[in-house]
Structure 1
Amino acid sequence: MSLAVVVSAPAHAQTLAPYKDDLFAYPGILSSEGETYRVVDYQEMRDIDERDQVPERRVQAKYVSTGVRKVQQDLVLKIDAGDIRHVAVGNAEGASVIVLYLHGQGGSRKQGVDDFTFGGNFNRIKNLMVANGGLYLSPDFSDFGNKGVSEVAALIDHYAVQSPAAKIVVACGSMGGALCWGLARDAKAAKKLGGLMLLGSLWDDGFLKSPAFTAKVPVFFGQGSKDPVFPIDKQEAFFRAILAKKPGYPARFVRFETGTHGTPIRMTDWREALNWMLAAK
């Protein structure tokens, strides 16, 4: 088990300092439209078999720093509608930035803090938040409908009060995207959003009429070209629809060529995407 040296950055930092960027940078860009749309070279043999000690179950040790667990807590937020179990990593108060990860079907709060699966990418976001004075949250929720949206919104409300200067970015994996779009439609929640990340997720035409769209909340899409659950053609078409309706809208798309459903969770460069969002608006 490796131990991280945790160093807090000044409060309200709007650029995240590097963390193992050489290991987590995109392996190659096959084509691009500037930074707005990029096709990333993804190869299963290299990016899973050679990266993991046990493919898809345990990444090689050099990708993780588990000392971050010292500031990881499994908590319960009690609200009128019930208890919201969640894992919090980093500064519960006075955070410079807050990132939430919302899991997909069959997942739980534990998925978003697993240090060794998905190529160590969850360990990276945990370390990025702690080293930069931020907060990372991975909650459970009841469903992917209105109740789940209200629970996540309540969690955001709670931590926004504790860190009023923090931008709040919500990353949604797979079916968790339904919650991202639900938050975008909620006028109160949308005011608190500093960005949305859709990782191997779905689209929602209603977003184009949402408070978040009106407020130009930045949106990042990461999608595998061979995703069998949510076809990339439909997600790309939705991305293009956003830009067509509001030219210059802060949206970015990363297509992982030959990647499948879980590829964006494994391969998305958290630091690059978050630094872009933190600089927006």
Structure 2
Amino acid sequence: MSTALFTFCTLFCLSVAAMPANAQTSGGPLKPFKDDLFSSQTVLSTGDGGASQVIDYQELRDINGRDEIPEQRVKRQYVDLAPKRVQEMETISVGGRSIDVGRVGPANGQAFTVIFIHGRGGDRRLAMKDYTFGGNFNRLKNLAAENGGTYYAPSVKSFDQNGVADIAALIADAKVKSGGKPVILTCASMGSFICYGISRDAAAVANLKGMAILGGAVDPDFPKSAFIRAKKPVYFTHGSADKVYSADQQAATFRGLLKAGVPTRFTLFETGTHGTPVRMTDWRAVLNWILTR
């Protein structure tokens, strides 16, 4: 662990004995789905009134032990293919823009909407895969389908203002078609550029319930954004050994937002690398926390 991360865990976390299974799961409107497999994560330390936590992550257990073929196919018990009955790969026209999306759940009248933004080199297919990333996208699809929600995985054509405009249009469309129900934007890796771009768009922010950023970049302007001024909830998850985007810097952003009274959470996967948050983030805990702010 780096010196900065050690300082974060000692000064800002209250070290505790390892907590039992399901320590990360929180209450909320989304009912459990395979929580025994996905939410049974050991909390090594916690602090800031529960706002920060360090999770025990072990590659041999959480990849090799979980996957039938490591990093390619998770074991069958982690997957439920029921959402395929309400799954579409389509091109939609929203706000005069054409967007390729994967969708799980209804196009109208959904109880909530979750939008996942992939990183560089990805597209909508990545976040619709059932057996990769430890089955974590399959769990997200099931959480949406089983709770009356809709999950969108759009293809982002560019991580600039054009990409931001596409996602702003999708957010606005989901807000209208759901009858004003919550819309949550989640972004992984370089996809965080889209989250940060949306955060500066006051109209898009007004349509959002909250955000989650998984292994994302650090934007020094994020604390000054319309999203933060509105004190919308943001949940960060990150691997401590991420060599692409600094966990130290993201932890510093979290601490600054928390001090400013912004509803925020930070989950650090001890020894986790850049891709760990996509595999290990407890989607039910994250979505329930955002939905109940």
Tell me, yes or no, whether TM beats 0.5: yes
1:82 Cα deviation after fit: 4.3
Q: Which runs of 4+ in 1 moved over 4 A?
A: 79-82
**SS of structure 1 residue aligned to 2:33:** coil
- TM-score of the pair, normalised by structure 1: 0.92
Residue of structure 2 aligned with 1:269, choices 282, 285, 289:
282
Q: Percent identity of the aligned residues?
A: 45
Equivalenced residue count is: 265
Contact 2:95 2:169 in 1 (8 A): no
1:200-236: CA deviations, max 9, x gaps?
Answer: 1112121222111111111010000000100111111
Match of residue 53, structure 2, among 24, 33, 38: 38
Is 176-185 or 20-29 further displaced after alignment? 20-29
Matches within 5 A, 1:202-281: 202-244=217-259, 246-247=260-261, 249-280=262-293
Question: Map of 1:1-281 to 2, 5 A cutoff?
Answer: 15-33=29-47, 34-79=49-94, 82-244=97-259, 246-247=260-261, 249-280=262-293
Assess if the C-alpha contact under 8 Å between 1:77 and 1:155 holds in 2. Answer: no
The answer on whether the counterparts of 1:30 and 1:40 sit within 8 Å (CA) in structure 2 is: yes
Question: Is this contact kept in 2: 1:144–1:178, CA < 8 A?
Answer: yes
Q: Contact 2:94/2:173 (CA < 8 Å) preserved in 1?
A: no
Shift of 1:166: 1.5
1:4 aligned partner: none
Which moved further from structure 2: 177-186 or 21-30? 21-30
Distance 1:78 1:275 in 2: 30
Q: CA deviation at 1:70?
A: 1.0
8 Å CA contact 1:26–1:267 kept in 2: the answer is no
Aligned mates of 2:144, 2:93 — CA distance in 1: 24
For structure 1, list consecutive stretches of 5 or more residues without a partner in the other structure: 1-13
Answer yes or no: is the 8 Å Cα contact 2:105–2:145 preserved in 1: yes
SS state at 1:243 partner: helix
Q: Normalization by structure 2: what TM-score?
A: 0.88
Amino acid at match of 1:190: V
**TM-superposed deviation, 1:80:** 6.6
Cα deviation 1:1-36 (Å, max 9, x = unaligned): xxxxxxxxxxxxx61011000100142010001420
Question: For 1:88 and 1:99, how far apart are their aligned partners in 2?
Answer: 10
Q: Which amino acid aligns with 2:284?
A: R
Unaligned runs of 5+ in 2: 1-27
The one-letter code matched in structure 2 to 1:67 is A
How far apart in 2 are the matches of 1:26 and 1:243?
A: 26
Q: Distance in 1 between matches of 2:59 and 2:70?
A: 10
Distance 2:63 2:55 in 1: 15
Q: Distance in 2 between matches of 1:170 and 1:141?
A: 13
* Residue matched to 1:5: none
Mapped to 1, the partners of 2:46 and 2:94 lie a distance apart of 45
Q: What SS does structure 1 have at the residue aligned with 2:257?
A: helix
Specify the code of the residue in structure 1 equivalent to 2:250: Q
Q: Deviations over 1:111-142 (max 9, x none)?
A: 11100111000000100000000000000122
